[in-house]
């Protein structure tokens, strides 16, 4: 799929739309989901243009891939939901139509702050 430069997360990355930022470095941005599904619901996205996880793993550098994964755990620690110091969380990425992906810029959801429940409902 061609990357849509007008998707909502691209606009957030360009600063055209505000977000409630949690964490940022050269490679990743993390912010609160606008419509939280759990007590804590955060999004972690790469700064570069990737539509989904399949696109990311086929085109991203090893550095970008490791920075995104490390970004997830950094954010979890910052929010106090990681295993060390917290009670755990769920990291999840919806991919494509059947995965239920709505925004076509790769993102991981982090859910925590309470029991998340069944894997799939």
The residues carrying an active-site annotation are 107
Which residue lies nearer to ligand 5GP by CB, 19 or 60?
19
x-or-dash string of contact with ligand 5GP, 41-80, rule CB under 6 A: ----------------------------------------
Which residue lies nearer to ligand 5GP by CB, 85 or 120?
120
CB 112 within 8 A of CB 88: yes
Does residue 8 bind ligand 5GP (CB under 6 A)? Answer: yes
CB 46 within 8 A of CB 60: yes
**Binding positions for ligand 5GP, 92-121, rule CB under 6 A:** 94, 100-103
CA distance 121 to 91: 16
CA distance 28 to 33: 15
Burial class (CB in 10 A: 0-12, 13-18, 19+), 77: middle
Task: Tell me which residues touch ligand 5GP (CB under 6 A).
Answer: 8, 17, 19, 31-35, 94, 100-103
């Amino acid at each position: 799929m061609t990357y849509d430069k007008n998707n909502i997360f691209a606009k957030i990355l360009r600063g055209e739309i505000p977000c409630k930022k949690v964490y940022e470095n050269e490679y990743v941005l993390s912010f609160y989901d606008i419509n939280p599904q759990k007590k804590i619901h955060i999004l972690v996205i790469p700064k570069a243009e990737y539509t989904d996880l399949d696109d990311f793993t086929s085109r991203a550098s090893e550095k970008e891939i490791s920075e995104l994964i490390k970004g997830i755990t950094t954010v979890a620690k910052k929010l106090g939901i990681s295993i060390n110091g917290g009670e755990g969380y769920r990291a999840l990425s919806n991919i494509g139509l059947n995965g239920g992906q709505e925004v076509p810029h790769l993102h991981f959801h982090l859910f925590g702050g309470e029991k998340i429940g069944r894997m799939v409902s």
